[in-house]
Every structure is written in C-alpha cells, then in structure tokens.
Structure 1
C-alpha cells in the first residue's frame, strides 16, 4: 500500500470491499447504522448464495486485476475472496439455503433448530 502507483487505488477498493462485506454478512448493521434506502436495497439484493457468490467474485476479480499493476499483499485478499465466492457458489449448486443467525440480525438459526 505504500507504493506510489495504482496500488493505492486497489488498496482503497479493497477497503471499500471490506465495508461491503461487513454490511452483507451482518444485516443487523443495516438497522443500526444510518444508511440511505438506496444502500439498504443494494445490500438486500445479496440474500441468496448465488448473489453472494457473484459479489464476492466481482470483488476478487478487482483484486486479481491489481496483480497486473504490481504483486503486493493484496493477493491474499484476492485468494480469500475467490475461495469465499467458490464456497457460496457450491452451496447454491447443492441447493443449500442461506441461513443467518439472530445474533447477526438474520432470520435465525434458532428457528430452524426448534
């Protein structure tokens, strides 16, 4: 991140990706944090495994493109985002429904257990 090149731009995109991931994975934050209705609607689109796989793949592709500028530690983000996208896609292909937890503000695992 300390290079004076496009790596700074890709590092900033990685930081933005991290905030998107936090809001996707912890829906409680959409209720707690003051966000716009447009942002809330954008985040609610990613409620299925396929949509989550798509957004993670897009974020991973951005980080993989950063390697063309210079090989930096952003490759770790690219690898982990790719793995996450693959796992969400595999869950979608297997027909597994996404299950959130009440702790994080989702529908709740406790309802499925009872």
Structure 2
C-alpha cells in the first residue's frame, strides 16, 4: 500500500499517525527554538522536547526493535497501541503546551494546535470504530516483524 492509497483509505488513524510525525518534527524544532528564553517558558520547551522523543517511539514502531530501550520504557510505549490511548496522550501533551500561554505566547502554540489535531484524528478513529492501522511507510503492519 502506497502513501496515497493509505490516505485514500479514509482511516483516521492513518491521518493521526502522519499528523503525529509532523508533531514530532514541530515539537523538536519548537522545543529547541524556545529553550533559549530566559523565563520559565524553558520548562515547557523541555517538556516539548521530551514529548518529541516519546512520540518518535509511539509513532514509529520500528524504532522499538532497532534502538536499545529498557523493558519498562517498552511497556510504557506499548500502552499506546489503541486509538483512544493515542488520543489521550496527544491530548495531554497538547494541554501541557496550551498551558505555556500562562507564561506568555510563543511558537509552542503551533505544537499545541497540531498535537490537538492528532488527538482529534485518533479520537475520530476510535469513535468510528476503526481499528488502529499503522502506516507501512513508518514501519507498521509487518515491517517490524520482517526485520527480526
């Protein structure tokens, strides 16, 4: 299945996963960009960076097989295999970034918006009863099993 066929499948979990990949890039870039403020916004930028690394392992399952991680971390990441759990983690991460507005408005708002969009896609997939389908391009649906 190509990327175009995945998007035509109208499965919201595919949309959520690709939005999640965009969130990884945004959280990493915006976390670094905002870490140089001399204010307590640094805390939110560090949290944004941590979120990007967590999302890498959530959205790209192939990395759990390649990277040496602890069994506790693997168990934590495997909790997010359903659409509802992924929607929950994205919603929590989005709320944390929205709370950065308490300090003052920064570009972390963009990360909050895209995390919220990904949470909505996963929630829609859950509500519509669509099972989680990982993108083959990102290492889902048998690609990770072929490596081992």
The residue that corresponds to 2:111 in the other structure is 77
Are positions 1:26 and 2:52 aligned together? Answer: no
- Deviation readout 1:4-28 (Å, 9 max, x if unpaired): 1111110010011011111001011
The residue that corresponds to 2:75 in the other structure is 41
Q: Which runs of 5 or more residues in structure 1 are unaligned?
A: 110-114
Are positions 1:58 and 2:92 aligned together? Answer: yes
Task: State the TM-score, normalized to the length of structure 2.
Answer: 0.70
The residue that corresponds to 2:138 in the other structure is 104
Query: Could you say what secondary structure the match of 1:100 adopts?
Result: coil
- Structure 2: distance between partners of 1:57 and 1:84: 8
The residue that corresponds to 1:12 in the other structure is 46
Number of equivalent positions: 109
- 4+ residue runs of structure 1 moved beyond 2 angstroms? 101-109
Bigger relative contact order (CA 8 A; separation at least 6): 2
- Structure 2: distance between partners of 1:62 and 1:45: 20
Using the TM superposition, give the Cα deviation of residue 3 of structure 1 relative to its aligned residue in structure 2, in angstroms.
Answer: 1.8
Using the TM superposition, give the Cα deviation of residue 108 of structure 1 relative to its aligned residue in structure 2, in angstroms.
Answer: 4.3
Are positions 1:88 and 2:95 aligned together? Answer: no
Q: Which runs of 5 or more residues in structure 2 are unaligned?
A: 1-33, 144-148
Task: State the TM-score, normalized to the length of structure 1.
Answer: 0.90
